[in-house]
């Protein structure tokens, strides 16, 4: 007896194809959904990065304004001191000029009488009295000195104002060739009231160092932070009668394809256990109210992130600290168009 033949189901093949099609469509939908999610996440991260850059820029500007605010009283004092003796000297010169003009007034009739051959006794007596009141020898000695002091004071005021103008001038986010000698001297001048009571500041420059492509205002802010920190570190070590002044040395030299800046002090130094954290945001060893923990973090961000440079700290507790900054002399065309 023959086995009955199995009749194939005409809908079986189409069912399997339909299942495969549905699976393929489902996978495509999953891929599309994941792609959309990834794109949305990419946009979110991109916006977050833009916001981070904007916040970082605002933080740098805030740090700069804070620094200028903290230095304002000292700068006002720096300007007021030469302005005061310019004022005093101008008052002295005005008084002297009155005496001299009075003397001239007494001498003119005597001169006229001498020319006409008239009686001169009373005129001579009056001129002699005026000459004694004038103290001509004293004026001859003091007037040039007063004028020299006034010119020196006006020069100091002009230097401070120029330094503040240079320091506060924004770079608008574009790198430009900068003479580090001028930038360092400007920053030292701006910070003078922070260090002059605790230290001397010496500078040393390599004549072979060319202009360095950088963001002028950010490098100036970084140098200011380091100089002020150095002054504070020295201040902690001073003791009347034993150690009344420290020393800060700021130098710049050419090292291969790098410009190397060093800020060295002979202050208290940084404990070994803290040296790995000094560039962390908000980390500070200063008392509450005196340090924000942003100074060195901004220095690190400026040198490493914005200039593709290097920074390191060499410190020995009780001996002092040296910060070494290295900036590349050559920058990528896309990142540094103004320097090409």
- CA trace torsion 39, 43, 45, 49 (10° rounding): 150
Which of residues 285 and 227 earns the better pLDDT score?
227
Distances (CA, A) of 27 to 15, 22, 35, 138, 289: 18, 9, 12, 103, 59
Please compute the mean of the pLDDT values over residues 173-195 and round it to a whole number: 91
Which of residues 120 and 187 earns the better pLDDT score?
187
Residue 13 reports pLDDT greater than 60: no
- Answer whether 197's CB lies under 8 Å from 242's CB: no
Of 158, 211, 205, nearest to 185 by C-alpha is: 205
Contacts of 219 (CB under 8 A, 6+ apart): 178, 183, 302, 307, 327
Query: Which residue, of 134, 159, 184, is where some domain finishes?
Result: 159
Q: Is 236 left (phi over 0), alpha (psi -120 to 50) or beta?
A: alpha
Sheet hosting strand 310-316, strand order edge to edge: 199-205, 246-255, 258-265, 320-328, 310-316
- Answer whether 150's CB lies under 8 Å from 83's CB: no
Query: Which residue, of 103, 126, 159, is where some domain finishes?
Result: 159
pLDDT at residue 338, rounded to an integer: 37
Cα(185)–Cα(124) distance, rounded to whole angstroms? 58
Residues 204 and 140 in one domain: no
pLDDT at residue 265, rounded to an integer: 96
Answer yes or no: is 63 within a domain. Answer: no
Residues 127 and 217 in one domain: no
Lowest mean pLDDT among 73-77, 83-87, 240-244: 73-77
Residues 155 and 185 in one domain: no
Residues 117 and 178 in one domain: no
Residue 83 reports pLDDT greater than 60: yes
Residues 133 and 218 in one domain: no
Q: Which domain holds residue 234?
A: 171-238+246-339
Please compute the mean of the pLDDT values over residues 56-72 and round it to a whole number: 61
User: Could you tell me the pLDDT band of residue 150, with boundaries at 50, 70 and 90?
Assistant: confident
Contacts of 19 (CB under 8 A, 6+ apart): none
Answer yes or no: is 213 within a domain. Answer: yes
Lowest mean pLDDT among 76-85, 247-256, 261-270: 76-85
Average pLDDT in the chain: 80
Claim: this prediction has a pTM higher than 0.75: no
Number of domains, the chain: 2
Answer yes or no: is 207 within a domain. Answer: yes
Residues 260 and 297 in one domain: yes
Residues 144 and 197 in one domain: no
Please compute the mean of the pLDDT values over residues 239-259 and round it to a whole number: 93
Answer yes or no: is 3 within a domain. Answer: no
Give residue-wise pLDDT tens across range 18-54: 677 667 767 777 777 888 888 888 888 877 777 766 6
Strand, helix or coil at 135? coil
pLDDT at residue 252, rounded to an integer: 97
Residues 191 and 318 in one domain: yes
Query: Which residue, of 112, 130, 159, is where some domain finishes?
Result: 159
Residues 205 and 290 in one domain: yes
Strand, helix or coil at 331? coil
Residues 232 and 326 in one domain: yes
Cα(64)–Cα(71) distance, rounded to whole angstroms? 11
Answer yes or no: is 131 within a domain. Answer: yes
- Token pair recorded at residue 202: 């010496």
Residues 113 and 210 in one domain: no
Which of residues 199 and 162 earns the better pLDDT score?
199
Residue 332 reports pLDDT greater than 70: no
Mapped to the 3 state alphabet, what secondary structure does 231-290 carry? HHHHHCCCECCCECCEEEEEEEEEECCEEEEEEEECCCCCCHHHHHHCCCCCCCCCCCCC
Residues 144 and 175 in one domain: no
pLDDT at residue 337, rounded to an integer: 42
């Amino acid at each position: 007896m023959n086995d009955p033949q199995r009749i194939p189901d005409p809908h079986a093949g189409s069912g399997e194809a339909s299942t495969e099609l549905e699976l393929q469509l489902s996978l495509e939908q999953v891929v599309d959904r994941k792609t959309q999610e990834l794109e949305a996440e990419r946009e979110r991260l991109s916006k977050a990065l833009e916001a981070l850059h904007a916040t970082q820029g605002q933080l740098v500007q805030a740090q700069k304004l804070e620094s200028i605010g903290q230095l304002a009283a000292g700068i006002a004092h720096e300007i007021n001191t030469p302005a005061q003796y310019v004022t005093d000297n101008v008052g002295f010169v005005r008084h002297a000029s009155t005496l001299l003009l009075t003397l001239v007034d007494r001498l003119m009739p005597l001169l006229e009488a001498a020319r006409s051959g008239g009686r001169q006794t009373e005129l001579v007596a009056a001129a002699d009295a005026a000459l004694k009141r004038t103290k001509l020898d004293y004026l001859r000695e003091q007037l040039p000195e007063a004028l020299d002091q006034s010119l020196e004071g006006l020069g100091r005021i002009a230097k401070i104002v120029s330094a503040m103008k240079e320091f506060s001038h924004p770079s608008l986010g574009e790198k430009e060739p900068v003479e580090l000698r001028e930038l360092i001297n400007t920053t030292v001048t701006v910070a003078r009231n922070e260090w002059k009571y605790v230290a001397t500041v010496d500078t040393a420059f390599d004549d072979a160092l060319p202009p360095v492509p950088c963001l002028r205002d950010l490098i100036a802010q970084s140098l200011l932070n380091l100089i002020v920190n150095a002054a504070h570190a020295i201040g902690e070590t001073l003791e009347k009668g034993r150690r009344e002044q420290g020393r800060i040395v700021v130098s710049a030299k050419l090292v291969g394809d790098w410009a190397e800046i060093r800020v060295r002090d002979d202050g208290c130094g940084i404990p070994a256990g803290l040296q790995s954290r000094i560039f962390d945001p908000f980390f500070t060893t200063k008392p509450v109210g005196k340090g924000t923990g942003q100074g060195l973090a901004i220095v690190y961000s400026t040198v490493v992130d914005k200039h593709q440079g290097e920074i390191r700290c060499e410190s020995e507790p009780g001996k002092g600290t040296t910060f070494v900054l290295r900036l590349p002399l050559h920058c990528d065309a896309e990142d540094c168009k103004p320097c090409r």
